[in-house]
């Protein structure tokens, strides 16, 4: 598939994250205006509420784009999602002639990305985080429990997950305070309280649920895929020293609750359709309810960048790909719902940390520095085992087409010191 030529010229730049093939959804505001829904196109955003008011989407029952989140639109289902995409491509493609009035409508709805503020694209219902990267699970298991016990016995059979916090999912650009908590280094006799010293990122993709299921009703993997509206970049910030002390037997708790960052753009399944691939070969056959009958994973290049305070530019510390996951989001969602759990519009599923084969492709500093034993050297000459105050961490990602890219923009956050707290 090649680029769909767009009448907005910046969208035709092969380096742009946002060609007409992409059309990811977000929520923006400008000046003192209220937040409303948009798509990204080239270096601009296109205000969908304005387009609705100008009758670009006559078959859509109401102006859901005037809302401050995408939830109402996401809850309309796949027919409406495809319809809006079709209308936008028809309006913006140079293949079609449009009259002067339509041209004026585009001009009215178009705003430079540099002139707008991006907000949380959707209200997060529940947030669940999985542990579906085999290399990551092997690395972390080796460090926490030893090489013999690296992969838990259930790992090849179940997409392991835990229920996280929706309340602290934030949009890219939000500063992150270093968390406080209780830790006990292996050499210490008793635990202590204070700022986390091993603050880390986790490079993940987030699947955004559009359509709900009914409580008590399982869904097939295929039905689960149909429920997914799209995907975001996701950073599951992690406090490793808090995690190591607290995680047994019920999994992470305080180590993960303080913040999860997502990209402002939700890239749709329609935009990613040409980049579907199968999950890797299985060591052991999955139970039938988890088996995929078609490719439901995606080929998406991902990277991690660190920019220390005062540095002129960021250093890329990892390049990997979403295809490294052992379980697709559809499999995770099917597993989530099979016991009776109701999933709602706006629920967010973290993929689990996405690590490739070696320390240039790992999705966390814990793995890249191997628990702090091999610090990574940045372009500034500084080294990092874990994140320092003042560091800005950025995730990027794109599916790479022939002369175009389906990009996700950036998922970024700056580390601020711990809050003052003297109990
Ligand atoms: Ca995680």
Closest of 154, 419, 186 to residue 287, by C-alpha: 154
CA–centroid distance, 342 to ligand 1, in Å, is: 22
Report helix, strand or coil for 181: strand
Other C-beta atoms closer than 10 Å to the C-beta of 53 total: 16
Examine residue 249 and say whether the peptide bond preceding it is cis (omega within 30 degrees of 0): yes
**Residues with pLDDT less than 50, the chain:** none
Q: What are 36's strand-pairing partners?
A: 28
Closest of 402, 395, 21, 398 to residue 171, by C-alpha: 395
Please, are residues 268 and 226 in contact by the beta-carbon 8 Å criterion? no
Work out the end-to-end distance of the chain between its first and last CA atoms, rounded to an integer number of angstroms.
60
Instruction: Give the helix/strand (H/E) hosting 230.
Output: strand 228-235
Q: CA-CA distance, 113 to 107, in Å (whole number)?
A: 14
CA–centroid distance, 310 to ligand 1, in Å, is: 29
pLDDT at 2: 93
Report helix, strand or coil for 384: strand
Q: CA-CA distance, 162 to 268, in Å (whole number)?
A: 25
Choices 3.90.850.10, 3.40.1190.20, 3.40.50.720, 3.30.450.20: CATH for 127-416: 3.90.850.10
Token duo for residue 16: 């742009």
Q: CA-CA distance, 362 to 342, in Å (whole number)?
A: 33
CA–centroid distance, 166 to ligand 1, in Å, is: 14
Read off the pTM: 0.97
CA–centroid distance, 112 to ligand 1, in Å, is: 34
Q: Looking at the chain, which residues constitute the CATH 2.30.30.230 domain(s)?
A: 9-118
pLDDT at 415: 98
Residues catalogued as catalytic: 136
CA–centroid distance, 21 to ligand 1, in Å, is: 30
Choices 3.40.710.10, 2.30.30.230, 3.40.50.2300, 3.30.2320.50: CATH for 9-118: 2.30.30.230
Report helix, strand or coil for 2: strand
CB-based burial of residue 78 (10 Å sphere; 0-12 exposed, 13-18 middle, 19+ buried)?
A: middle
Please, are residues 422 and 329 in contact by the beta-carbon 8 Å criterion? no
Where would I find the H helices in 98-169?
A: 100-109, 134-145
pLDDT, one tens digit per residue, over 148-170 is 989 999 999 999 999 999 999 99
CA–centroid distance, 411 to ligand 1, in Å, is: 15
Q: CA-CA distance, 356 to 374, in Å (whole number)?
A: 17
Residues with CB under 5 A from ligand 1 (ion): 129, 202, 236
Q: CA-CA distance, 77 to 96, in Å (whole number)?
A: 27
Please, are residues 330 and 229 in contact by the beta-carbon 8 Å criterion? no
CA–centroid distance, 129 to ligand 1, in Å, is: 6
């Amino acid at each position: 598939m090649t680029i769909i030529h767009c009448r907005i010229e910046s969208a035709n730049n092969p380096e742009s994250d946002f060609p007409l093939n992409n059309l990811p959804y977000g929520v923006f505001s400008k000046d003192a205006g209220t937040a409303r829904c948009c798509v990204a196109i080239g270096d601009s955003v296109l205000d969908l509420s304005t387009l609705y008011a100008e009758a670009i989407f006559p078959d859509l029952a109401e102006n859901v784009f005037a809302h401050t989140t995408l939830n109402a639109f996401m809850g309309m289902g796949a027919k409406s999602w495809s319809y809006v995409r079709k209308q936008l491509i028809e309006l913006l493609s140079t293949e079609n002639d449009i009259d002067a009035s339509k041209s004026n409508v585009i001009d009215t709805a178009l705003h430079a990305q540099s002139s707008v503020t991006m907000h949380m694209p959707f209200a997060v219902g529940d947030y669940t985080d999985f542990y579906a990267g085999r290399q990551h699970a092997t690395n972390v298991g080796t460090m926490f429990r030893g090489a013999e016990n690296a992969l838990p016995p259930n790992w090849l059979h179940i997409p392991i997950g835990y229920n996280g916090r929706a309340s602290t999912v934030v949009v890219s650009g939000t500063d992150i305070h270093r968390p406080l908590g209780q830790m006990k280094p292996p050499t210490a006799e008793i635990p202590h309280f204070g700022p986390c010293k091993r603050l880390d990122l986790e490079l993940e993709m987030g699947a955004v649920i559009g359509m709900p299921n009914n409580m008590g009703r399982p869904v097939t993997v295929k039905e689960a895929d149909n429920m997914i509206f799209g995907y975001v970049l996701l950073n599951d910030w992690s406090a490793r020293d808090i995690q190591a002390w607290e995680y047994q037997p019920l999994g992470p708790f305080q180590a993960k609750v303080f913040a999860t960052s997502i990209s402002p753009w939700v890239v749709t399944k329609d935009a990613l359709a040409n980049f579907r691939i199968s999950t890797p070969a299985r060591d052991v056959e999955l139970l039938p309810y988890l088996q995929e009958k078609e490719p439901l994973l995606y080929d998406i290049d991902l990277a991690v960048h660190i920019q220390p305070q005062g540095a002129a530019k960021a250093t890329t510390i990892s390049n990997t790909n979403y295809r490294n996951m052992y379980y697709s989001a559809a499999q995770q969602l099917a597993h989530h719902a099979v016991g009776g759990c109701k999933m709602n519009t706006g629920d967010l599923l973290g993929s689990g940390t996405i690590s490739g084969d070696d320390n240039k492709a790992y999705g966390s500093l814990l793995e890249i520095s191997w628990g702090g034993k091999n610090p990574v050297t940045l372009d500034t000459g500084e080294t990092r085992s874990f994140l320092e105050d003042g560091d800005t961490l950025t995730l990027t990602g794109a599916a790479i087409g022939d002369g175009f890219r389906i990009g996700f923009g950036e998922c970024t956050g700056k580390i601020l010191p711990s809050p003052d707290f003297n109990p």
